[in-house]
Amino acid sequence: MPNAALSNLAAIDAAHHLHPFSDMGKLNASGTKVISRAEGVHIFDSNGKQYLDAFAGLWCVNVGYGRKSIADAAYAQMQELPYYNLFFGTTTPPSTLLAQKIASKTGPSLNHVFFTNSGSEASDTWFRMARVYWKALGKEEKTIVIARKNGYHGSTVAGASLGGMKWMHEQGNLPIPGVVHINQPYWYAEGGDLSPEDYGIKIARELEDKILELGEDKVAAFVAEPIQGAGGVIVPPSTYWPEIKRICDKYEILLVSDEVICGFGRLGSWFGHQHYGFDPDLAPIAKGLSSGYLPIGGVLVSDRVAKVMKEEVGDFYHGYTYSGHPVCAAAALENIRIIEEEGLVERVRDDIGPYLHTALQSLAGHECVGEAVSVGLMGAVQLTADKATRRRYAKPDDIGTLVRNHCVENGVILRATGDRMLFSPPLIISRSEVDQAVETLGRALDWLRDNHREG
């Protein structure tokens, strides 16, 4: 589109367009930024300004922008068969082949896929499936799902209920009945004097306490992200996941691993459950499945659950018009082919992930930094007003936004969740681009130190 047409867009946007997760009054006053083009790890706004996108859109553009082969695969599929449904005993070649391809990458017992159009729909899907599973086994009372404070599982009614964000619950009278929350393993902010390892065990045992309080015969599932994403890249202590796994096994609770961010290479493994060495019963996916080129998500379903769905449930009255949409599935297949061909999972694990880790550690000594953590290409820098006591700034959200804006003005897109600065770049990012992103954050931290002293 010519620049003249683009320059009008902000005004049109203010007049007609309501944005997700936005304060529309403020946004209309400040004006939206129009992103009109992208290539590799870079995006360009309508003024032609280039940014390094160290956040891969919204954690999703794993193979980077401008992949012609994905566009070609979608175009070819659209000409061959633009749409057909999966409801009445039919399938399409790309949706079936995609299910097979995904199953070949997961942990050993996740061999089935139920397709959705997004991560949120995947949350709604497994939520119903978990209850249907227990009902089919004659355990109708097993309906409660235990989730975590500050977790994120999407924006639909079930997704936002499962998520642990209070400010989301306050809009729309959530959570729905049957969803309860326990604490997150956020050692830096909530660990007090405990070592991270002891804290990991303590927080995991909250799951056991909650199961005992509710009654094992009432609890259907526990859901968590392997590493909490939108909540601030909360990397759990090493003791956390083994203890969670032990508890779910002991009480026969379905373990749901929300892989929407951690899947498809982000952690240097195909899926987050592989990185942490556990085998979930259900696992929602989306984002990196198509690298965001087209909307598609799904739920990975274990043999244990699939067997009951096949042998006991009969009709599962659930699905979406566009479940397994052939064009989206064709794009996802090509996306996965690229990840395989270019060895991006191994690259993250052995090369660029460790490189980002080292680069972030160079900021760990900064007086405004509490901790710098990363696994693969998912990282966070925690801001602090006092390094020694791990004290937070009085207004953490405002401080995080200031630092983020400083980075954006200097050409690097990061995200702030509260006072944590988040990295989630495309898996193709080069070493010099990692340096650029981390150095830009470093300069923003110097600016913060020089301009925002607190006590």
Ligand X SMILES: *Cc1c(COP(=O)(O)O)cnc(C)c1O
| Interface residues toward ligand X, by CB under 6 A | 118-120, 152-154, 225, 229-230, 258, 260-261, 286, 297
From the CB of 290, what's the least distance to ligand X, in Å?
A: 11
Residue closer to ligand X (CB basis): 369 or 416: 416
From the CB of 446, what's the least distance to ligand X, in Å?
A: 31
Contact partners, residue 445, CB within 8 Å, separation at least 6: 363, 366, 368, 369, 381, 383, 403
Residue closer to ligand X (CB basis): 258 or 433: 258
- What's the CA gap between 231 and 254, in Å, rounded? 23
Please list the residues that pair with 121 across neighbouring strands.
none
From the CB of 159, what's the least distance to ligand X, in Å?
A: 6
From the CB of 161, what's the least distance to ligand X, in Å?
A: 12
Q: How far is CA 129 from the centre of its chain?
A: 21
Residue closer to ligand X (CB basis): 60 or 399: 60
Tokens of 286: 């989306």
Residue closer to ligand X (CB basis): 282 or 368: 282
Peptide bond into 175 cis (omega under 30): yes
Residue closer to ligand X (CB basis): 164 or 370: 164
Nearest residue to ligand X, using CB? Answer: 119
Residue closer to ligand X (CB basis): 229 or 396: 229
Contact partners, residue 273, CB within 8 Å, separation at least 6: 106, 107, 226, 257, 259, 279, 280, 283
Interior angle at CA 442, CA 437 and CA 443, nearest 5: 100
Residue closer to ligand X (CB basis): 56 or 230: 230
Residue matched to tokens 């995947």: 122
From the CB of 184, what's the least distance to ligand X, in Å?
A: 13
Tokens of 306: 């699939």
For 65-166, strand residue ranges (E) read 110-116, 144-148
- What's the CA gap between 352 and 56, in Å, rounded? 15
Q: Closest Cα partner for 63 from 411, 437, 342, 362?
A: 342
From the CB of 15, what's the least distance to ligand X, in Å?
A: 26
CA Rg, the chain, in Å?
A: 22
From the CB of 174, what's the least distance to ligand X, in Å?
A: 15
